[in-house]
Amino acid sequence: MPGTKVAEALRRQQIIAAAFQLATDRGLHAVTIRDVAERAETSSGLVIFHFGTKDQLVLALLDWVLATTTALSVGPDIEAIRDPLDRLIAILGQETARLSREPQRIRLFFEFWSAGMWNAEIGGRMQNDLDRYREAFHPMAEAVLVAYPSRFAGVTATGLSAVAVSFIKGCALQSMIEPQFDIAEFQSAAEGLLGTEALRVAAPARPAASRGPRILPARVR
C-alpha cells in the first residue's frame, strides 16, 4: 500500500539520520545496529529489516553523504551568466561556500575516504561519485577552453575540471581542519591570487567569520 511504503521510506531516512548523528559524534566505528536503533528510538529488528547488516547500513549512510556532497546543482542565476569563465568561477564560489558550511559532513566524507583504502566497496562507490562530480564540470570547462584558447593553451577540459574540483575540495578540507574557517577571506585570497573578482558571483553574503582507491578528485584520465 502507498501509505505503508511512505512510512517505511520515512523510517529508513530516520535510521540513516541517526547513523549520521552517531558517525559525526563518535566516528564510523560507532555505527552499530544496536546504537543506531537506540539513537533512532526504534528496535534493532527494524534496523535489520531495512538494512540487513551493519555493513549495508554503513553503505547506505555513505550513499546519503555522497548524494549531499558530490551532487552539483546549477541554478538559473548561474546558467544566465553568458561568459563561460565567469560561469565556471561562479560555480566555484557556490560550491566552496556550500561545502564549507557543512564541516561535520565533510569530516565524515574524509573518514569514509580513509575507510575506502581497505574497503573496496566503499572505495569504489566514492570513486564513482567523485568521477561523476568532476565530469559534471566538463561541459563548462569545454566552453571556457573554446572562449579562451590562448589563456588555457595546452589545457584539456578534463584537466580544467580536475583543477576546479580540487579547488572546491581543498576549501572543504580546510573548513574541516579549521573550525573558524572564514569562507569570505578564502574567496578574497583566491580572487587576489587568480587576479579576478568573479568568485564573488553567486556567492552568499559574506559572514563575519564564521590507498588506495584513487579518491582524490584531481585524478586525470
* Number of domains composing the chain: 2
**Would residue 10 count as lying in a domain?**
yes
pLDDT of residue 14: 94
Do 53 and 23 reside in the same domain of the chain? yes
Cell numbers for 125, please give them: 562507490
Do 74 and 170 reside in the same domain of the chain? yes
pLDDT of residue 216: 35
Could you give the angle at which helices 54-69 and 120-136 cross, rounded to 10 degrees?
10
pTM of the model: 0.76
Do 80 and 176 reside in the same domain of the chain? yes
Do 16 and 110 reside in the same domain of the chain? no
Could you give the angle at which helices 44-51 and 2-26 cross, rounded to 10 degrees?
110
Instruction: Provide the residue range defining the domain that includes 143.
Output: 70-200
pLDDT of residue 212: 36
3-state DSSP helix/strand/coil % of the chain, to nearest 5: 70, 0, 30
Do 129 and 81 reside in the same domain of the chain? yes
**Would residue 207 count as lying in a domain?**
no
**Would residue 141 count as lying in a domain?**
yes
Do 164 and 101 reside in the same domain of the chain? yes
pLDDT of residue 217: 37
**Would residue 18 count as lying in a domain?**
yes
Residue 27 belongs to a domain with what CATH number? 1.10.10.60
> What whole-number distance in Å separates Cα of residue 149 and Cα of residue 165?
21
**Would residue 102 count as lying in a domain?**
yes
Do 115 and 156 reside in the same domain of the chain? yes
Q: Which residues of the chain have pLDDT under 70?
A: 1-6, 179, 194-221
Do 80 and 159 reside in the same domain of the chain? yes
Do 48 and 81 reside in the same domain of the chain? no
Do 32 and 108 reside in the same domain of the chain? no
Do 56 and 149 reside in the same domain of the chain? no
**Would residue 214 count as lying in a domain?**
no
**Would residue 110 count as lying in a domain?**
yes
Do 82 and 45 reside in the same domain of the chain? no
Helix (H, G, I), strand (E, B) or coil at 108: helix
